Chains A and B, each alone.
Chain A
Amino acid sequence: MDNLYRDFILEHYRNPHNKGVLDPHDLHFADSNPTCGDEMSMTLRVADDRISDVAFDGRGCAISQASASILTDELRGMTTDQVREMDPRMVLDALGVPIGPARLKCALLSYKVLQGAVRGGQIEWPEEAEVAG
């Protein structure tokens, strides 16, 4: 258990980076985790096709909040194309803790919301087999 709830995960949960709503913003999307009903939204500013600022909002578990905190830290300076091509495994790797099938949606909610924002519409959940291992 200490494997999953490492200090840096809990630290991101208690003091998440990039939490809030950007106003004004260029991109906005919200989505939810059907297992628990947790909702997350993301607002982004884009300048010259690069992400200049990003914020996420919503309440959720330590895994979803840490994942959003860590993912949003990575986005500034990326082009929207680079974000679109982002592999969901990158998010799991960045979390750096073992995510079992029961918690996969918690870990990937931020990725799903982000993809919804840059693609202008909801994407499907990544398949478990696709991101495993």
Chain B
Amino acid sequence: MAIEPAAPATRPGGFSGADLRADFPIFGQATRSGKRLVFLDAAASAPKPQAVIDAVADTYAHHYANVHRGIYELSEDATNRFEAARRKVAAFLGAPSEREIVFVRNATEAINLVAYSWGRANVRAGDRVLTTQLEHHANIVPWQQLTREVGATLDYVALTDDGQLDMDDLRDKLAAGPKLLAIAQVSNALGTINPVTEITAMAHDAGALVLVDAAQSAPHMPIDIGDIGCDFMAISGHKMLGPSGIGALWGRRALLDAMPPFMTGGSMIIRVTLEGAEWNEVPAKFEAGTPAIAEAVGLGAAIDYLTGLGMERVREHEHWLFERAWKALGEIPGVRRLGPDDPEIHAGVISFVLDEAHPHDVATIFDAEGVAVRAGHHCAQPVMQRYDVPATTRASFYVYNDADDVEALAGAVRATQRIFGG
């Protein structure tokens, strides 16, 4: 009689990250160090399971034509698959209707769409827009451009010493009456999980709309737009096991209906004459030109993979990995960890600095150990400035990570210290 493997039962998520690696071809190849790949950079972009790669290849091989226009079998087939992917995104985010899902390239484009379209139509000279000091540049620069262009003011919510939003400062800044609050649900640089449901209620009470940047949260925890209550949400497919070049903006139907187009061209019009054009309905109004068809289908396959695991369980798995890694790094003298201690408000992203070695040197030595981490400012330079570090080393976890990866992380830190310590 076969003995049941004991390890998975000990993992709170109920699945073994090490076992899941068999689903990801990238773990089957050797690194130049000759060691197994320890991939700790999902927060930048995630590896792809075979199911996603197959869905993209199968679309190109057997179901590919342009969507929405062709009156023939292949075009109908491609359109059905593309629209099925839209329904999957809507269900995954808890959106009231798939017609509120706009396919874009990534969360950056989703935020730019809102900043250009809603922003230029609604934010005027003297108005305020509010974001926070822990945002990715993608949720800062579009608002800087908007407010500069129209003569509005951009405010930033301050951070506490342990990497949380300063809620008193948030209250003060909301009292100034911003038109919109743009906020990340999870910080890519610190891993902080912001209480976006509570914050959305506060912002709405103050008369502000709320855009949630869910690029770092949607891949890692259950998301329910109805529960959060926000007005816009941005996601990137490539961070949630999907292909690059596909992402989504969700927006309330009434807002999307009232917004002018962002990009113009084919697909997004009802009628064009030499004098002008009439816009198509949402979401087509915001999807000018041929979209990333196979990539959208691939994103649908990634959502199937994640929902097959269960997003509650994915979150539990990463919660467990975070606690182990946070503790392991905390036990090594000379390691400074950034962000909150509390695993309830800290996603599977750990930013840290070593006393002796610069993050770039750390990442180079980690690479020689087969450990892939990110070193730099993580497109969040204001966060680096707030904590007075030029850069950090960042380890980020996902479903295929396991206790052996945490050990490798701690081992790589010690290897770095051996080189730099003496």
Contacts and interface: CB of A to CB of B under 8 A. Distances in A.
Interface stretch (A31-39, A45-53, A71-79, A113-121): A31-39
A29 to B, nearest CB: 19
A interface secondary structure, majority: loop
Contacts of A103: 360, 364
B391 A36 contact: yes
Contact of A62 (B361, B381, B390, B391): B361
Given A1-B368, A5-B419, A10-B419, A37 B390 contact: yes
B376 A1 contact: no
B375 interface: yes
B361 A37 contact: no
Contacts of A102: 364
Nearest to B376: A36
Interface residues of B, number: 18
A56 to B, nearest CB: 15
A8 to B, nearest CB: 13
B220 interface: no
B419 A37 contact: no
Contacts of B390: 36-38, 59-60
B60 interface: no
Which interface class (under 10, 10 to 19, 20 to 34, 35 or more) fits A?
10 to 19
B360 to A, nearest CB: 4
A37 B365 contact: no
B365 A62 contact: no
Most buried by A among B360, B365, B375, B376: B360
Nearest to B32: A100
B359 interface: yes
A37 B384 contact: yes
B364 A37 contact: no
Most buried by B among A2, A37, A38, A61: A61
A62 B357 CA distance: 7
Contacts of A62: 357-358, 361, 420
A4 interface: yes
A109 B376 CA distance: 16
A106 interface: yes
Contacts of A5: 361, 365, 419-420
Contacts of B346: none
Most buried by A among B375, B377, B384, B391: B391
A1 B368 CA distance: 6
Interface string B159-200: 000000000000000000000000000000000000000000
A106 B359 CA distance: 12
A36 B361 contact: no
A60 B360 CA distance: 9
Contact of A4 (B358, B364, B391): B364
A4 B365 CA distance: 9
B336 to A, nearest CB: 15
A35 B358 CA distance: 13
Contacts of B357: 61-62
A30 interface: no
B295 to A, nearest CB: 27
Contacts of B359: 36, 61
Interface string B359-376: 111001100100000011
Interface string B372-392: 000111000100100000110
Interface in A51-89: 59-63
A81 to B, nearest CB: 33
A60 B391 CA distance: 9
Most buried by A among B358, B359, B375, B376: B358
Nearest to B391: A36
A99 to B, nearest CB: 10
Given A10-B420, A59-B358, A62-B361, 10 more contacts: A1-B368, A36-B375, A37-B377, A37-B384, A37-B390, A37-B391, A59-B390, A61-B358, A61-B360, A62-B358
What 8 pairs across the A-B complex have the smallest Cβ distances? Answer: A61-B358, A61-B360, A1-B368, A36-B391, A37-B377, A36-B376, A61-B361, A62-B361
28 contacts: A1-B365, A1-B368, A1-B415, A1-B419, A2-B419, A4-B364, A5-B365, A10-B420, A35-B360, A36-B360, A36-B377, A36-B390, A36-B391, A37-B377, A37-B381, A37-B384, A37-B391, A38-B360, A38-B390, A38-B391, A60-B390, A61-B358, A61-B360, A61-B361, A62-B420, A63-B361, A103-B364, A106-B360
